[in-house]
Amino acid sequence: QAALFCATALAISVLLCLGADAIGSLSKSPEATSQALTLPQLILGMLSCGFVPESGFPEWIRPFVRNQPISQFSFAMRDMAQDGVTWEVFRPSAFWMIGLAVVCLPAALWATTRRG
């Protein structure tokens, strides 16, 4: 569980860094880059189950809060840190990481070759 926890944290970090690299490489303005990187993380972080349980949110926003990537990552990593994660809990995180890899990896490679 500890190795999976570290591997998951590393994978999420690398994927987000690849996305940030692509955005930064394609942006012409540092101000636009900082907003493009900060705003989604702020919104997804504040509307996640990482800090507040789902029951602490209004009923109308709970489906978004429960199913967005930060919440799914926090569910999986919380279970890894406690009593062990099951595939049912880890599967949404795995799908989010695969989706991020499909989008961020080619974008970062394309931005890097375009820049060079």
d(CA 27, CA 21): 10
d(CA 111, CA 97): 20
Question: How many structural domains does the chain have?
Answer: 1
Whether 16 is in a domain gets the answer no
Whether 17 is in a domain gets the answer no
Whether 33 is in a domain gets the answer no
CA-nearest of 77, 73, 63, 75 to 93 is 73
Model confidence pLDDT, tens digit, residues 7-58: 999 999 999 999 998 888 888 887 888 888 888 888 988 999 988 999 999 9
Whether 25 is in a domain gets the answer no
Whether 112 is in a domain gets the answer no
CA-nearest of 27, 25, 12 to 74 is 12
d(CA 72, CA 65): 9
The shares of helix, strand and coil residues in the chain, as percent rounded to the nearest 5, are: 85, 0, 15
Whether 55 is in a domain gets the answer yes
Whether 51 is in a domain gets the answer yes
Q: Find all residues with CB under 8 Å of 12, minimum gap 6, and list them.
A: 73, 97, 100
Q: Find all residues with CB under 8 Å of 44, minimum gap 6, and list them.
A: 68, 69, 70
Model confidence pLDDT, tens digit, residues 58-99: 999 999 999 999 999 999 999 999 988 899 999 999 999 999
Look at residue 36 in the predicted model and tell me its pLDDT.
83
Range of the domain at 75: 40-106
For 64, phi then psi, to 5°, come to -65, -45
Whether 22 is in a domain gets the answer no
